[in-house]
Every structure is written in C-alpha cells, then in structure tokens.
C-alpha cells in the first residue's frame, strides 16, 4: 500500500514535476505534446493559463521532469491553499490524451510587521 504524499510549498516557489508515461501494458510511451494547467482544488477554477511543456533541453520523453514556476502556483488569503495541477499528454492522435493529477498546498508567507 502506498501513502499519498502531501506537498506544501511557500507562495512564490517553483516545483519540479516528474511524469512517467507508460502504456497499459507498462511499456514506455513518448507523448507528442504535453501541457498543464493549475486549478483551485476547492472549486475547480483555473488559476493559471494552459501551459505547453515544450522548453525541455532533451525534448519530450516517456520519463520527463519539468518546472512549474511559482507564478502559476498562487497563494491566497488562507494559511494554506490546495491546488490541483493537471498534466495532460497527447499521444498518437489528438483524441489520445492521458491526464495525471498532482495535488499540493501553497502556504501564504506572512508579511513583516511594521
């Protein structure tokens, strides 16, 4: 049995995500396109634009790591905000897409007192 990992970051920080794309048979698959979008987990409202993942030095691979910048992971007025990052890979055709969700919390950094 595996336990869910709850990641908490401070507002403004970036994270690196690693995705391993495989077929149902467990064989490595390389997507033709990858994109992600960040949502507020409470109401499913998007908090970032749809971002294509196309700036990787090695190109798209079946095992790939990319950075989600802090600007796409906004905190809010709550001490911790739960966000959902939906990563979507497109394979042999436009209709063949697979999605991977990642959940994390973004902690608001308190301001210095005057």
What CATH number does the domain containing 36 carry?
2.60.40
* Lowest-pLDDT range of 10-14, 44-48, 85-89: 10-14
Q: Name which of 21, 22, 51, 49 is nearest 35 in CA terms.
A: 51
Backbone angles phi, psi at 84, to 5 degrees: -120, 125
**pTM above threshold 0.85:** no
> Residue 10 falls within a domain, yes or no?
no
Q: What digits encode the pLDDT tens for the residues 25-54?
A: 888 999 999 999 999 999 999 999 999 998
Residues 6+ apart with CB under 8 A from 49: 37
Does residue 112 lie in a domain region? no
Residue-range definition of the domain harbouring residue 69 = 21-107
> How many domains are contained in the chain?
1
**Residues 58, 55, 65, 13, CA torsion sign:** positive
100 vs 19: CA distance, rounded Å = 8
């Amino acid at each position: 049995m595996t336990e869910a990992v709850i990641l908490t970051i401070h507002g403004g920080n970036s994270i690196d995500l690693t995705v391993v794309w495989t077929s149902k048979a467990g064989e490595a698959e390389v997507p033709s396109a990858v994109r992600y979008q960040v949502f507020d987990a409470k109401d499913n409202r998007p908090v970032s634009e749809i971002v294509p993942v196309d700036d990787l030095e090695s190109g798209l691979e079946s095992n790939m790591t990319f950075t989600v910048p802090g600007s796409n992971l906004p905190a809010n007025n709550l001490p911790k905000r739960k966000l959902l990052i939906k990563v979507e890979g497109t394979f042999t055709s436009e209709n063949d897409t697979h999605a991977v969700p990642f959940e994390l919390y973004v902690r608001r950094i308190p301001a210095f007192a005057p």
